[in-house]
Structures are given as structure tokens and as C-alpha cells.
Chain A
Amino acid sequence: MLGRKIAQLGLTLVATALLGGFLSATPVRLAPGFDADETALDPHLSSQSIQALRRDRAEQHNVLTFYIGSLRLALHGDLGTSISLKQPVGTLLHDRIPLTFRVVSLGLLMSWVCVLVLALSTVRVRTPAYDLLATVIAGLLLCVPAAVLALLSVLWNLPGALAIALIIFPRDYRYTRNLLDKAYSLPHIITARAKGISQTRILFWHVVPVVGPQLLALAGVSVSLALGAAIPVEALCGLAGIGQLAWQAALARDLPLLVNITVLVTLVTLLANSSADVIGHAWRGRQA
């Protein structure tokens, strides 16, 4: 059953990545100036060379042919060359992925620690004032644009990971708090509390098995949120990661670079969501 689920998710992942790549490749082909090649303006080139360059371009005229050609090259490790930075896209991605990975994972860790601590304490303490305070903080953070949080982190000399954590925190907090609140209201948990079972035991033996799969799914979604937040944070905090690269590529109309970043981020997002799905499925299966 689990093997089938993994195979199904794998197929979905490949299909989505291929379709996502095609959706991203289409704007590259349709972008203004795609047919223009400045090397054809070189006065040293013979008319035969210019004709050969034009033939090469003409082969890429069809979007599907262009996409299949790009895929074939990508399979051989050639992701093309950045128009604005004049460097191989593969090298650029290779240099910048570690920083984004560090910032995003640290941001996710901080955000989830805050979410779990605050949500658990509000559900356990059950003081209206405390609950209101937590809701107001989360609500206010939800109303501030991600880019402004990034700017404020620059002004206050705070790490970029903290800005990512503050962007994700309010989105995850609301759901986590509601999930925990519902779980603590379940009859068997109320009975366990009435019998005087310790809070830690109730949490790990009764609450976590109920909310675990849903929290895992939420964690999967928060990965894509964190990657989205990495664009303004890296761009405005001056962190040389994938987000900053995407922003620079967008400003410079460097579509080949943008397409590769989009496909890469799509794959990471899908992998995170699929992994959360598979683990959640296995968890539920064990419980059943």
C-alpha cells in the first residue's frame, strides 16, 4: 500500500515538474527578443556562419521543440547560460544553494519552535488574555508584507533566518493552535486529564498521534512558504542565495536563469509536500 502511494507520488512529482518546466519554458520562448542573437551582428562572421546561427535559432522556434531540447541538455547537466551574469546556470545554482538551504532551514526551525511553544502554551494555559495576546501578535505579523519584515530585519541588524521565521510563524500558528485546541477537546483526552495522567504523557501518547499527520502536512506546506519568503529576505538583506538570484534575474529579464530556478524550487516544494504526505500516510497506517 505504502509502495503504491510512493510510486503514485513519484509519478505526480515527475509529471508536475515536467509540466511546470514547460509552463516556465513557454514565457522564455515568447519573451520579446528571443529570436534576436547579438553574435549574428559580429562583422567578422561570414554569411554562411550567420545562416548557420539563424538555422540554430529556427530549430528552437517551436515551444515544444525548444522545451525538449532544453530538457535533453538538462539531462546531460547543461542548464544553459545566464544572460545577465554570463555564467553557467548550473554553477550559479551550485554556489548559491547552500546559503539558501541554511537560511530557509534555520528560519523553518525557529518558526516551528515558536509555533509549537506558543500554540501548546495557549491551549494548555487557557487564559483569555494570553490567548488574545498570541492571536494579536500572529494577526499583526500576518498583516505586514514579507518584504517589510525583511527590511525591518536589516534596520535592526537581525539575521535573515529570523525574518523568514517571522513570515512563516503567523501562517502556521493559527492552524496549529486550532488543531491542538480540537485535539485537547477530544473526549478521551478530557478523560485522561480527569484521571490525572501527566501532561507530558497526554501530549506524547494522545495528542501527538492525533495531530501529527496534519502538522506534518502543514510542515510540508511551510517549506514552499519559506522558499517564497527567501526572495524578499535574500534580496533585501543582501544574502547571496537562490532568492536573491531569482530577484536579480527578474530585474535583468534573465529568463533562462529564472526558469531553472522555478523548476528547482518546484521540485523542492513537491519533494517536501510528497515526503510529508508519505510519512503522514505511513503514520496513519500504523495507527490503524
Chain B
Amino acid sequence: MSLWRKLACGVLLLVLAVSLAASWIAPGGYARQDRDAAGAPPSRQHWLGTDEIGRDRFARVLYGTRISLLLAPAAALVSTAFAALVGGLAGYLGGVWARGAMAVTDLFLSLPWLFLLITVRAMLPLNVSPTFSVLVTFLLLGLWGWTAAARVLCASASSIRNSDFVRQARASGVRGSRLFWIHVLPNLKPVLHAQFWISIPAFILSEANLGILGLGVSEPLPSWGSLLKELEGLVSVGEEPWKFVPLLLLVLVVTSFQLVLSNRNEVAA
């Protein structure tokens, strides 16, 4: 493991640990208002100042980081599982199944996902609870992100299907689901791992984009997207630099992911 990768792993673990300890570090929580200090600059009491309704920005960054860092892997898990099911099975079965599954995958790949995502997100009633909005946002990301991975997995499963050890297993009488679960799927693990890990930063960035557009996690729950929405009100970059802390943290985390995954990208390709 190179020095850069070790450093990136360390940064990710540190950020995750700090965000998990948010309840101890910022016991006031992300929703408590200090109405006398609304829109206040950083102070000893509020390290990153407060937002326009007096909520502590530092606490919101910690809780927002926790939400993004815990739910992005969950969305990645959903998309990888879906991709494994569609792509893996299509590649394993081959023939008409593979062609059919890949046609569906191509269809999904050619649809502009951001447009569809906001269409489906817009379907939700206005009065959904914040927790439900978080779950739906990340679930939608997971359900929409499986296509590219399914293509890769189909190609990998197809090559495994034609490999000597699978032919030997088939000749020995191993059939159907047992062949898939015991012999094919375990050999797809490296590709599945790679797809899972490379989906995480992509989902973090997607949630941030949706959040800035006001279509992500609902208030009062914080997320990196909703925290970055504050940048919209700035007149100049140097005006309130502490508002850029969530952006710096996001860039740091996504860069760390890219560094950690640099060799996994090659596996996925």
C-alpha cells in the first residue's frame, strides 16, 4: 500500500470516527436553535458559526457527514446487489437472457438519470418526513446506479461461465442455482467489491448535487447537499469562508476515496 493510499485511508477513518462521535462532540444536536446568535460568525461557542436560523453549523456538518458517509455505502450496496443479480445472472445464463438483460441495461443507460431522478423525487408528496426523504434519496440513487456495474458483471460472469472449472463442475453434475451461487458468484467478488467501492463517492456527489438543488434530504436533517446550499446566498468567495468547510470536507473525503480506489478502478474496468 502506497503512502498516499495509507494517508487517504487514515483520513477516511478519522472523518468517519469523528462523525460517529457527533453525539458526544456536539451534544446540542443539529436542530437546536440559538435564536440570539442567528447567522453568527465562528466563536468559541459555535466553531463554524450558525446558520440563518441559529443552528450550530459545526454540529450540522458532523451529523451531515454521518448521514452521507453511512447512507452512500448503503446505496452502493443496493446498486451492487441489483447489478449482481441482473448482470451476474444474465452473464451466467447467456443467450437470450443476456441479450434481453443488456438491452434493458442499455435502455437505462441511455436515459438521462438526473432528469429521471428528479422526476421520481418530484413524485413524493411535500409532507414526507425528513428520515423518509433521506432513505428515499439514497434508495433512488442505489436503484439508478446499477446499470454500468451490471454491464461489467455480465461480461465477467460470461467469461466465468465459459471457464474450465465451471465446465468441469457442470460435467460433474453440478447444475442450476448451485453452480451460480457456489462457483460463479464467489468468483465475481473482486468485481463486486470494486463496483461497490467506486459507487460510494459517486453517490456522495449525486446526493450533494440533489441537495444543492433542494431535491435531496429534507430539513431539518443535515446532509452535505443541504449544507452546501448555504453557498447560494454568498456574494463573494471571501465573504464568509467558514461556509466552505462542508465543501472542503466533501472534497477531502471524495479525494480520499479516489486515492484508496485507484487500483480497484482497474479491476472494475
Contact = CB atoms under 8 A, between A and B. Distances in A.
Contact of B213 (A32, A147, A155, A156): A147
A235 B213 CA distance: 8
Interface in A213-264: 224, 227-228, 231-232, 235-236, 246-247, 249-251, 253-255, 258-259, 261-262
A176 interface: no
Contacts of B122: 249-251, 253-255, 258
Interface string A58-82: 0000000000000000000000000
A265 interface: yes
DSSP class of B's interface residues: helix, strand, loop or mixed?
Answer: helix
Interface in B217-269: 225, 228, 231-232, 234-237, 247, 250-251, 254-255, 258
B111 interface: yes
B214 A16 contact: no
A123 interface: no
A246 B258 contact: no
Most chain A CB within 10 A, of B213, B236, B251, is at B213
Given A30-B123, A255-B122, A147 B212 contact: yes
B118 A250 contact: yes
Interface in B103-123: 106-107, 110-116, 118-123
B74 to A, nearest CB: 20
B212 A231 contact: no
A270 interface: yes
A171 B206 CA distance: 15
A144 B251 contact: yes
A265 B123 CA distance: 19
B81 interface: no
Nearest to B259: A139
A269 interface: yes
A96 B205 CA distance: 27
Nearest to A139: B258
Given A139-B255, A145-B208, A151-B212, A20 B113 contact: no
Nearest to B115: A262
Nearest to A253: B122
Given A140-B251, A151-B231, A246-B115, A16 B107 contact: yes
Contacts of B205: 143, 145-146
Most chain B CB atoms below 10 A, which of A147, A249, A261: A147
Interface of A is mostly: helix
Contacts of B118: 231, 246-247, 250, 258
A152 B209 CA distance: 14
B215 interface: yes
A145 B247 CA distance: 9
A232 B209 contact: yes
A147 B228 contact: yes
Contact of A142 (B115, B116, B212, B258): B258
Residue with the greatest number of chain B CB neighbours at <10 A, chosen from A32, A143, A258: A143
A52 interface: no
Given A155-B237, A269-B110, A148 B212 contact: yes
Given A155-B237, A228-B115, 9 more contacts: A16-B107, A30-B123, A32-B125, A145-B208, A155-B234, A232-B209, A250-B118, A253-B126, A273-B110
17 contacts: A16-B106, A16-B110, A27-B120, A30-B123, A139-B258, A145-B209, A151-B228, A151-B234, A228-B114, A231-B114, A232-B213, A235-B213, A236-B212, A258-B118, A258-B122, A259-B119, A269-B110
Interface of B: 106-107, 110-116, 118-123, 125-126, 201, 205, 208-209, 212-215, 225, 228, 231-232, 234-237, 247, 250-251, 254-255, 258
